[in-house]
Amino acid sequence: MTRVKILQHAEGEWIGSMYDWFTDASRHRHFNLSTVRLDHGEALPVADSFDWLLVMGGPMSVNDESVYPWLIEEKQLIRQVINSGKTVLGICLGGQLIAAACGAEIYRNTTSEIGWFPIIRTDPEVNWLPEKAELLSWHGDCFKLPEGARSFATSAITPFQGFSLGDRVWALQFHLEVKSGTVDAFLACETEGLPDGEYVQSEAQLRDDAGFLSQSQVAMHRLLDQLMV
């Protein structure tokens, strides 16, 4: 059985539609899921205790080590796991943590990107992602590429929306895991309200997600299918 460890950083920022994939009748006996709530002070797992690592989103920056000291050890764990050849998938903050763990710079973008905006595939070999799709971005920070990484997507204001390191490590800046209720959970994390900006949609626009969820889930599940091989 494949042991899947989930690193969660905030209430409501869990694995979303990935849960449906892992618990599908055709594969639920193949995976054992367990979650570590770093925001609740739970200890990081040891690398030998899991086979896959899912690193989820959160409202903090990977550079906020003085506020969240566990970020230091989390990056160390991610680096160790990548070097050992395990499967690692990071989304938004999780993708930035992968980049930072591999020595890449995480920087503040010119404006926040929060909304259902076009993500454009830049690598034709990444066949789990459509050539262009309106997917959910929700970030102010961005990553540069680690050494040896292969970029596969971009958007209007974020040069690198995702990268891979070989076949087993994927970092996504956008939120493919979204499902009904995800937007409300993310809005609850915005304790000071949404920032201003040309690429920040209103709460009403963000919640009008019915037309976007299916394409996100299809791409998310196709990526997981690829990782299962």
pLDDT of 66 above 80:
yes
Question: What is the tens place of the pLDDT at every residue in 117-171?
Answer: 999 999 999 999 999 999 999 999 999 999 999 999 999 999 999 999 999 999 9
What b-and-e string marks burial along 78-113, b requiring 16 or more CB atoms within 10 Å of the CB? bbebbeeebbbbbbbbbbbbbbbbbebebeeeeebb
- Whether the model clears a pTM of 0.85, i.e. scores above it, the answer is yes
Domain edges within the chain: 2-228
Q: What pLDDT digit, counting tens, does each position of 181-226 carry?
A: 999 999 999 999 999 999 999 999 999 999 999 999 999 999 999 9
pLDDT category at 29 given cuts 50, 70, 90 is confident
d(CA 45, CA 192): 32
Contact 15, 54 (CB under 8 A): yes
Distance CA 161, CA 143 (A): 8
Fold of 2-228: Rossmann fold (3.40.50)
Measured between alpha carbons, how far is 140 from 131 in angstroms, rounded to an integer?
24
Q: What average pLDDT is seen over the chain?
A: 96
Name which of 94, 195, 102 is nearest 144 in CA terms. 102
Instruction: Tell me how far apart the alpha carbons of residues 118 and 132 are, in angstroms, rounded to a whole number.
Output: 6
